[in-house]
């Protein structure tokens, strides 16, 4: 959420930043509502002062025996009391309107976020690794003979409908091994704190990270009001919801492996084959809570953490910075990491790492006390996949495929697979 004072101080700069995202100028609407709201607050305070003054004079009039003055003042107090209540109610309603308006406005991009209308104008930062050169036609993950028996979409459709999968046997074990490998790497090498969180959260938690109110259709809500998390970003970031922490507590770096749930609203017809786009999937999510001066550097650090997983798995990837027309609602700058998928002969997103500045912190009222004293300030928040487990499984299977349909698995998974690094044509580990 945006700081109304910043908009008041420089509305032109606010509109200019919004225009980079393709949004129309909004400062005039915001400031008009804010001015009306503040006028009601001032009027209520004036009426309250007049009520208090008249209340003090009522007793004097009564004591002096001036019945007419007493009745006049008593009527004045009653009228002012009603006026104050009315003005306060109007101010409260206008305040709610202002918050709703600010809640629906996307974050402002950093100056170093490239301008652009859509994903076609994202800017490549670098590429690492070399895509494998096969002397046979590369298959997509779901067509590999070694995978077919362990990746069952038909049974999943019977159980739950489209965009679900049942994993079994060796394929399920590889999937689990990838998540364990990611967690261990982030904890032991990258210094993140492993965290286990609920996947059901209250509505205010979804509001805190920006999924609500604008993107409710992208998530699932239970009949008693809980929301299924679209990513562990929601519970991890909200750990500091409505908290004021010591500066020495920063940075906080969390990692969690969770089930994630997305309705995929608006993606009908996209990536319907295989595991690429599912309603239920697993992710290892990274979240950092930082001092405002450190958040930009933290974005680069988190990007390196995510890239390191792919490098240790021996997977080729490229990293792009998203343009202003493609960054998410709450982001100021985003780095997408795209892994090479031989079956599609292209790079596909496997991680998105974003810095949000104080955008989420204002929604959550998450602050820190400066070490040198002074007024508490808002923390900065960041989030990123480290990585999407299902998509990583796809990449490992497709990049390790052999001509006979078997799959050679990455060496780093050996401790998690009992030393067996071949998924045989029969679908077993050897």
Give the active site residues.
262, 277, 349, 352, 391
- Residue 383 known to bind ligand: yes
- Residue 98 CB partners (closer than 8 Å, separation 6+): 4, 30, 33, 34, 37
Our separate counts of H helices and E strands in the chain read 12, 18
- Does 71 count as an annotated binding residue? no
Stretch (H or E) spanning 239? none
Confirm or deny that 263 is annotated as ligand binding: yes
Structure tokens at 121: 């104008």
> CA separation (Å) from 322 to 30, 255, 338?
28, 23, 12
160 is in an annotated binding site: no
**Token couple for 278:** 């599912």
Place of tokens 């929301």: 227
350 is known to lie in a ligand binding site:
yes
Instruction: Provide the token pair at 304.
Output: 């390196």
State the DSSP string of 4-42. Answer: HHHHHH-HHHHHHHHHHTTPPP-HHHHHHHHHHHHHHHH
Buried b / exposed e along 145-162 (16+ C-beta atoms within 10 A): bbbeebbbbeebeeeeee
* Pair of tokens at residue 341: 């998928």
Q: Are 335 and 303 in contact (CB under 8 A)?
A: yes
Has 231 been labeled as part of a binding site? yes
3-6 long-range contacts (CB < 8 A, ≥24 apart) are: 3/358, 3/362, 4/30, 4/34, 4/98, 4/102
262 is in an annotated binding site: yes
- Rounded Cα distance, 323 and 278, in Å: 26
Binding-site positions for L-serine read 231-233, 262, 285, 383, 385
Q: Which residue numbers belong to the known binding site?
A: 231-233, 262-264, 285, 349-352, 383, 385
Instruction: Summarize the annotated binding site for ATP as residue ranges.
Output: 262-264, 349-352
């Amino acid at each position: 959420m945006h700081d109304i004072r910043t908009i008041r101080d420089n509305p032109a700069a606010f509109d200019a930043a919004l225009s980079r995202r393709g949004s129309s100028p909004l400062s005039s609407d915001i400031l008009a509502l804010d001015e009306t709201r503040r006028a009601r607050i001032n009027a209520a305070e004036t009426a309250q002062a007049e009520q208090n003054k008249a209340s003090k004079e009522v007793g004097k009039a009564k004591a002096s025996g001036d019945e007419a003055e007493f009745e006049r003042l008593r009527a004045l107090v009653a009228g002012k009391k009603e006026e104050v209540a009315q003005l306060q109610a109007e101010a409260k309603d206008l305040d709610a309107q202002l918050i709703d308006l600010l809640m629906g406005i996307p974050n402002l991009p950093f100056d170093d976020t490239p301008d652009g209308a859509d994903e076609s104008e994202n800017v490549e930062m670098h590429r690492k690794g070399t895509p494998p050169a096969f002397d046979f036609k590369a298959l997509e993950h779901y067509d590999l003979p070694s995978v077919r028996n362990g990746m069952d979409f038909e049974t999943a459709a019977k159980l739950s409908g489209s965009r679900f999968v049942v994993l079994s046997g060796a394929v399920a074990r590889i999937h689990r091994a990838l998540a364990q490998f990611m967690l261990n790497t982030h904890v032991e090498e990258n210094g993140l704190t492993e965290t286990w969180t609920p996947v059901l959260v209250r509505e205010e938690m979804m509001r805190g990270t920006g999924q609500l109110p604008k993107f409710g259709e992208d998530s699932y809500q239970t009949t008693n009001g809980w929301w299924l998390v679209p990513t562990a970003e929601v519970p991890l970031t909200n750990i500091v919801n409505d908290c004021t922490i010591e500066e020495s507590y920063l940075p906080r770096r969390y990692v969690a492996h969770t089930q994630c749930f997305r309705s995929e609203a608006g993606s009908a017809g996209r990536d319907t084959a295989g595991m690429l786009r599912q309603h239920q999937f697993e992710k290892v999510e990274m979240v950092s809570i930082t001092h405002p001066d450190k958040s930009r550097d933290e974005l680069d650090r988190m990007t390196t953490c995510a890239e390191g997983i792919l490098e240790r798995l021996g997977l080729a990837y490229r990293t792009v910075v998203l343009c202003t027309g493609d960054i998410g609602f709450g982001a100021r700058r985003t780095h997408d990491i795209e892994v090479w998928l031989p079956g599609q002969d292209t790079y596909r997103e496997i991680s998105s790492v974003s810095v949000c500045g104080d955008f989420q912190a204002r929604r959550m009222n998450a602050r820190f006390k400066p070490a040198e004293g002074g007024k508490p300030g808002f923390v900065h928040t960041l989030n990123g996949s480290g990585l999407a487990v299902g998509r990583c499984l796809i990449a490992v299977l497709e990049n390790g495929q052999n001509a006979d349909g078997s799959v050679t698995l990455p060496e780093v998974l050996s401790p998690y697979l009992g030393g067996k690094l071949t998924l045989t044509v029969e679908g077993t580990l050897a």
